[in-house]
Amino acid sequence: MILFTDDVARAHERVVNMASQMFQVAVAPLSELAGTCNSLKLKGVTTFHDAHVEDVDFVTRALELPGAIAVETPWDKFVQRQHLLAERLTGVRCFRVDCRDDFERAVVALPLPCVLKPRRGVGGSGVAFLWDTGDADHQRAERLDWTGLTLETWLPQGAHPVRPDWLANFVSVETVSLGDAHHVVAVFDKSPIEVVRRGGREGADMVSVTGDIIPSQLSEAQRDVICARVRDCLETLGVRWRVTHTEVQLTPDGSDIIEINGRVGGHLNRLLRLVGGTDLVRAALSVALGLPPALPATEPDGYAMGYFPPFPIRGGQVRSRVTVADLRRLEGLVGVDEVAAAGAAQADSGFRMANVTLRAATADELQRAAAGVARGIRELFAADAEGANGAEEVDMADAVTGHGGADEASTGVEGRER
């Protein structure tokens, strides 16, 4: 059964019609979601959309379904920090910000640099890095909506211990939680994020994640320490019967938690399936019913990468004419999920030129393939790198290999600043 809220159904009638050809479909106002689920006698409920994780929590608690979380609003970043701080599972201090006065009090209490970000949301949207008092003044001048934010201390910046020239200094940990057992099914490395300072709305920086790599090249000992910390965090939040996606910062002294998300991590399931790993979608559906899913015990078969480079100059329409067939010719590339269409708004593709998948037998082969694919995508989209308004052209191959840029940070992650 696929449930749509009525506002989504009205806005995406075509999608609802398509879904109804393959599945049972129900439409309900958000306020009546629990009652609808009850009348349909559903045995479980889950979501793959971050905006609805709290709705799943509400329904599971109201109907006593599998997946009910003990902590209220556990995916709120401020709430998470408070619980993790109490158990000494993070060293990050934070303040809740819901108005300008909250910000003024917090920016006095926390030493710079620090990070202002939404308490809910994904992908770096709305994040602003406050390096100095000038950045704080920029927020005062540009930001109109102060609700739903948190200001937190800067996470110490480490480096990837194996491939700092290519991989970012944060990882993600994918976990399947049953009753009181938290099974780590994958650890992903990341390619460096890209940051356009003050490039977002209302004073925010524009943050772009560029890629995921499986398996992680951290040592087994390093992975074990990180995974143990994630399990402790999930236990502290009272997570049960849930697939979670946790981002972890690599610090000079070890690691710290960036954030914990109560759903499958975007774009990751396709990579796990390429290397014979856990099917996260199937696992999420299974645990929503309170049933333990099948968890492969084998090591990943080779290496895979999801790569989604942003436009070097963001805004306006796509200039380049690039097809799926053009991308398919790039060596090492095995899948094309999306390509920005000529004439469309860059925003239609999330300001990404393309979203592609690579596969290789070894880590070295994957790195070489990634550099070649990055260079090939840059050349195919050359028209979108021409210096409109004097903007800088950026070498996208450097963005993947980690060369040629100054280190920056997201919610505590390494990146490149433009």
d(CA 227, CA 246): 10
Instruction: Dump strand ranges (E) for 45-85.
Output: none
Q: Give the bridge partners for 8, in sequence order.
A: none
d(CA 195, CA 204): 10
* Strands of 407-409's sheet in order across: 206-208, 193-196, 414-417, 407-409
Handedness of CA 333, 336, 338, 339 (dihedral sign): positive
Residues 261, 75 contacting (CB under 8 angstroms): yes
Q: Which residue has the tokens 């995974």?
A: 227
Residues 92, 155 contacting (CB under 8 angstroms): yes
Every domain of the chain and the residues it spans: 2-63, 77-153
- Is pLDDT above 70 for 404? no
Residue 352 pLDDT level (bands cut at 50, 70, 90): very high
Q: What is the pLDDT of residue 124?
A: 65
Q: What is the pLDDT of residue 386?
A: 79
Q: What is the pLDDT of residues 368-402, one digit of tens each?
A: 999 999 999 999 999 999 754 433 333 333 333 32
Region 58-68: mean pLDDT is 94
- Residue 175 phi/psi, 5-degree rounding, is -130, 140
Q: What is the pLDDT of residues 19-33, one digit of tens each?
A: 999 999 999 999 999
Percent of the chain at pLDDT exceeding 70: 92
d(CA 216, CA 392): 32
DSSP 265: P
Q: What is the pLDDT of residues 156-193, one digit of tens each?
A: 999 999 999 899 999 999 999 998 899 999 999 999 99
d(CA 73, CA 66): 17
Q: How far apart are the first and last CA of the chain?
A: 45
Give CATH for domain 77-153: 3.30.1490.20
Region 110-114: mean pLDDT is 92
Identity of the amino acid at 73: T
Nearest of 73, 80, 48 to residue 258 by alpha carbon:
80
pTM (two decimals): 0.90
DSSP string, 277-329: ---HHHHHHHHHTT-PPP---SPPSSEEEEE-PBPSS-SSB------HHHHHT
Q: What is the pLDDT of residue 180?
A: 86
Residue 415 pLDDT level (bands cut at 50, 70, 90): very low
Residues 184, 168 contacting (CB under 8 angstroms): no
Q: Distance between alpha carbon 15 and the CA centroid of its chain, in Å? A: 24
Which of 141-145, 196-200, 253-257, 308-312 is predicted with the least confidence, judged by mean pLDDT? 196-200
Q: What is the pLDDT of residue 396?
A: 32
Nearest of 175, 294, 171, 268 to residue 223 by alpha carbon:
171
Residue 213, SS3 per DSSP: strand
Average pLDDT of the residues of the chain: 90
Identity of the amino acid at 362: T
Nearest of 87, 254, 49 to residue 169 by alpha carbon:
254
Q: Which residue has the tokens 């899913």?
A: 293
Burial class (CB in 10 A: 0-12, 13-18, 19+), 156: middle
d(CA 46, CA 43): 11
Distances from the Cα of 43 to the Cαs of 37, 65, 149, 244, 414, in angstroms? 9, 7, 35, 20, 42
* Exposed e or buried b per residue across 302-341, where buried means at least 16 C-beta atoms within 10 angstroms of its C-beta: bbbbbbbbbbbbbeeebbbebeeebbeebebbebbebbbe
- Residue 192 phi/psi, 5-degree rounding, is -60, 140
